[in-house]
Structure 1
Amino acid sequence: MGSCIKTGCSLLRLSQTLGLCTSRRASTAGGIKKTTQLKNLLASPQLSFLMEAHSGLSARIVEEAGFSGIWGSGLAISAQLGVRDSNEASWTQVLEVVEFMADATDIPILLDADTGYGNFNNARRLVRKLEDRGVAGCCIEDKCFPKTNSLLDGRVQPLADAQEFALKIKACKDHQKDPDFCVVARVEAFIAGWGVDMALERAQIYREAGADAVLIHSKRSDPSEIEAFMAKWKNKGPVVIVPTKYHTTPTSKFQELGISTVIWANHNMRASVTAMQNVSRQIMKDQSLVNIETQVASVKEVFRLQRDEELKAAEDRYLPKK
């Protein structure tokens, strides 16, 4: 009997925990769904920003910093798993990470979904699974699977057939359940060494296939390729950029060009790498915590980010009093 009671309590607490997660995953800000938030953000005439996160904790930090949306970076997620950004992490492993991110936050997540992890069938299945987990949208790039990171030097960057990729976008849009779920088509023509005309042609095809926005990627140290594209694009739809390489360009310039959204794509992951390297080296050198303890977040702050107070209040409400 005692075992059954314990089991029943465990199941009750599990159902309550799952209910809490589902509630947060489906929660809205100001009564607006996460998918609608992202769609409005992409369509806004004002320049918007997405900040990179790669875990539930980093996603919560991004939200607390005041960002309106999160970029679920493929590079950052693979890096924190200790593998390369070459589809070495399976799509289900990425899905597990982004589910924790969605549960931890009330702002929309745009997932960097690489090439959709295969053909149209893989991509449309991914969309359904992302919707189930409260992810607001995905960004799919027109490369071949497995992908090669766009910022690697001296690597061949083969692109997918444009018509096939457009049909992949169409399959995603046709099979989403929520009409506001966003699919962003990432154009890699500049990364592959092709010119602005090819970038424009591909962007137009993807837009006609139903893409909610196009992401124009460039690894030049200046925004000249982006400027050339925007001059000919004529505001046919929202344009997203990732200015990792041309980071010295004033943000006001992006507003002038008519850019919809800027993604700060990998900086939380890179910041954490530097911090962990420095802390580990210092502790190894000192064989002591005396020079470190005041330089890192307190355990109390970690508990706050984990929302321990909510659990404490729930325990007071749901656990029997002795």
Structure 2
Amino acid sequence: MFKPVSYPSFRSVLGQRRALSQAVRVAGAHDALGGRLAQAAGFDAVWASSLEVSAARCLPDASVLTMTEYLEAAAHTQKALGIPVVADVDTGYGNNLNVAHMVHEYEAAGITAVCMEDKLFPKMNSFVATSHTLLDTEEYCSKVRVAKNAQRGEEFFFIARTEALIDGLGVEVALERCHAYVDAGADAVLIHSKARTKDQVLEFLQGWQDRAPVVVVPTTYPDWHADDAVKDGVSTIIYANQGLRATVSALRDTYASILSHGETTHLEDKIASVKDVFALQRLADWQELESA
């Protein structure tokens, strides 16, 4: 009988990978199809990216969409997968009350991990050349405590993301903030950087000394091999937007090629078959229900 897929919690996946001295590798996605393709490729988890979800609506990653819209995308993705979704929840969608509501709703939807950044609401995407003012450290710690107190199950995992390097405040400030966040109850920290090298992140890791799991997003320093990152103290690597960028390139080229050639024969051996799409939809499993 066809049943919904089951999946482990992010906490359990992280524990398994750390026991093997490996990183949890996470692929960004904005919908269930992208998540299922990431799972098929072998990723350990999927990042429900606010950049990707916003871009899929042709809107900026600037707190324009609501929590409900981001949650819907993450929940639809999680229901389709056998691996956990890590939800990008921006700044928690408001104040402490909003953070508590966010945890209740995401946990109820089956999301086992969220990542909340320490910028002021409304936020702007970290790679945009603009001001990225941070919330006061104690105010963010208050949000962390509220989030951890709001969770119902022990498996729920809270990642505290600092934008100190994005705001130009330096590694020392990033370390001070992340220590405070773990003191407040965060299960892991994400150190974000838009530098062209990993040097600042390495400096952070050396000062951090593996106090809690560290998550990185090597978008602007893509030459950091996963094995080397683990040796340097990284527990989780998020490839946050490569899937979105690949989709943009592939669709742009495909659509232009169709118009240029006037037919699609030249593309048919380069694009997925309809049969492949049916497999991703688990069509055969659904058809079994008709004869149950």
TM-score normalized by structure 2? 0.95
**Per-residue displacement from partner, 1:192-233 (whole Å, max 9, x unpaired)?**
001111001100010011111000001111111011111111
1:143 equivalent among 95, 114, 119: 119
- How far apart, in 2, do the equivalents of 1:310 and 1:157 lie? 47
- How far apart, in 1, do the equivalents of 2:249 and 2:285 lie? 32
**Per-residue displacement from partner, 1:136-193 (whole Å, max 9, x unpaired)?**
11000000111111112x3111111110011101101001011110010001100000
**Per-residue displacement from partner, 1:50-75 (whole Å, max 9, x unpaired)?**
11121111111111111111111111
Structure 1 residues 121, 43: CA separation in 2 closer, same or farther (over 3 Å shift)?
farther
TM-superposed CA distance for 1:38, in Å, is 4.3
1:85 equivalent among 61, 66, 85: 61
- How far apart, in 2, do the equivalents of 1:93 and 1:76 lie? 12
Asked if the contact 2:134/2:163 (under 8 Å) is kept, the reply is yes
Count of aligned pairs: 291
- How far apart, in 2, do the equivalents of 1:38 and 1:81 lie? 31
Matched residue type, 2:37: I
Greater helix proportion: 1
- How far apart, in 1, do the equivalents of 2:53 and 2:102 lie? 17
Task: Identify the residue that residue 52 of structure 1 maps to in structure 2.
Answer: 28
1:301 equivalent among 276, 279, 282: 276
Q: What is the SS of the residue equivalent to 1:249?
A: coil
- How far apart, in 1, do the equivalents of 2:17 and 2:191 lie? 14
**Per-residue displacement from partner, 1:23-52 (whole Å, max 9, x unpaired)?**
53xx23xxxx42543452585543221111
The reply on whether 1:195 has 2:180 as its aligned counterpart is no
Q: How does 1:122-137 map to 2 (within 5 A)?
A: 122-137=98-113
Matched residue type, 2:244: M
Q: What is the SS of the residue equivalent to 1:163?
A: helix
Asked if the contact 2:48/2:73 (under 8 Å) is kept, the reply is no
C-alpha root-mean-square deviation of aligned residues, in Å? 1.7
Asked if the contact 1:37/1:108 (under 8 Å) is kept, the reply is no
Q: How does 1:104-183 map to 2 (within 5 A)?
A: 104-152=80-128, 154-183=129-158
| 247-256 or 84-93, which deviates more | 247-256
Task: Identify the residue that residue 276 of structure 1 maps to in structure 2.
Answer: 251
Task: Identify the residue that residue 265 of structure 1 maps to in structure 2.
Answer: 240
Q: Which has the larger radius of gyration?
A: 1
